[in-house]
Chain A
Amino acid sequence: MDYVNLRRQAASLRKGLFDQGYLDEQFYQLEDLQDDASPNFVEEVVTLFFRDSARLMANIDQALDKCVKDFNKLDVYMQQLKGSCTSIGASRMKTECTAFRECCRDENIEGSHSLSILNLCMRSFQKIKREHSVLRQKLESYFQLLRQAGPVECATRPNK
């Protein structure tokens, strides 16, 4: 197996995640925490994130499905999701979470369940789901490549 090539592919995938804005500085910090005592720390944290975020997004889906929407509750769920995104550096998801929360605040201000605001919220949430799905695919591919490539020396940050 061409381990050098696999590592090159993993490095390229990782660089793309940063260049395309999927990940930010916080992911570097997680990588810095990975060491011999916690050799799979980043993957474990990312796995936790996708498990946790899937649960939150299911809650949001349920809350949006209800006839009478509780925008305060939606905002709470989204605040939690945004917090998780921040923890792993999921930058694009974090941005979409912020946009959704602004919709919730607009709805609270309007107080009239305006259809246009509701539509904005729904569209915003669809964006979050897409970003979540893409990030998941890319990170799963990345960690799969790393596993195939075998143990490596510490990852180096891409040139900024």
Chain B
Amino acid sequence: MASSQVVKVLIVDDDVLTRRIYRTMLFRFGFEITEAGDGKSAVNQFLTGNEYDLILMDNDMPSMDGVEATRTLRGMGIPAKIIAITADANSRGAFLDAGADEFLLKPVNFTVLTDILKAFNFLN
């Protein structure tokens, strides 16, 4: 986990609406939220020294898709938990091979996501 006790989350999705929904959901858990609109921006977050405990990663994004971003982050040695959340069911294998910890299909079921966060020990 990042040095702070607050769970730091990076939401990576090119859709503003989706990011807004995830932000509201995670904010109620007291998480600290940062957003990125594509995979490249997500990678840049880490290149500029930021740390995150959890990443919610879409796949279909401009500049760099979620699978490539995941692969790049793992290649950089980033240990953050990565939950792929995408409408693209066919990307499951690619995401897991790239190093994602979990894969969810959109629309995300918040109960399922909460259970995953508990399993990752992000929630008491």
Interface residues of A (CB under 8 A from B): 26, 29-30, 32-33, 35, 37-38, 41, 44-45, 48-49, 52, 79-80, 82-84, 86-89
Contacts and interface: CB of A to CB of B under 8 A. Distances in A.
A32 B110 CA distance: 9
Interface string B82-118: 0000010000000000000000001101100000000
Contact of B17 (A35, A37, A88): A88
Interface stretch (B4-12, B18-26, B67-75): B18-26
Contacts of A37: 27-28
B31 to A, nearest CB: 13
Contacts, number: 49
Interface of B: 15-18, 20-21, 24-25, 27-28, 60, 87, 106-107, 109-110
A35 B110 CA distance: 15
21 contacts: A26-B107, A29-B107, A29-B109, A30-B21, A33-B24, A37-B28, A41-B24, A44-B20, A45-B21, A48-B16, A48-B17, A49-B17, A52-B15, A52-B16, A79-B60, A83-B18, A83-B106, A86-B106, A86-B107, A87-B106, A88-B17
A87 B24 contact: no
Nearest to B109: A29
B40 to A, nearest CB: 18
A2 B98 CA distance: 58
